[in-house]
Amino acid sequence: MVYSTSSSLLLGEGGDDGEVWLCIGPPHRQTDREIEILVNVCREGRESVVFHSMELGPKFYRCREESPNA
């Protein structure tokens, strides 16, 4: 995500093959709305996979409030 304003590792997610990262930010510079993106960052040279992308909802808005500059 080019314009990410917050990103954090989601502990307890991802399993043995990698880590799950949450990225929050606007989809482009010309808007104030934000989206949430979940990425499985794989280990051992495999490609990372975006498996969730949508408007920022209440579940991850809380993460944004807890660490706004993460």
pLDDT at 68: 57
* Reduced DSSP (H G I as helix, E B as strand, rest coil) percent helix, strand, coil of the chain, to 5: 15, 40, 45
More confident residue, 66 or 69: 66
pLDDT class of 69 with cuts at 50, 70, 90: low
* Identity of the residue numbered 11: L
What's the pTM? Answer: 0.79
Q: What is the pLDDT of residue 35?
A: 94
- Whether residue 18 contacts residue 42, with contact meaning beta carbons closer than 8 Å, is answered with yes
Residue with tokens 């969730």: 52
Are the CB atoms for 20 and 9 separated by under 8 Å? yes
Q: Where are the domains of the chain?
A: 6-66
7-62 pLDDT, tens digit each: 888 887 777 778 999 999 999 989 989 999 999 998 777 888 999 999 999 989 88
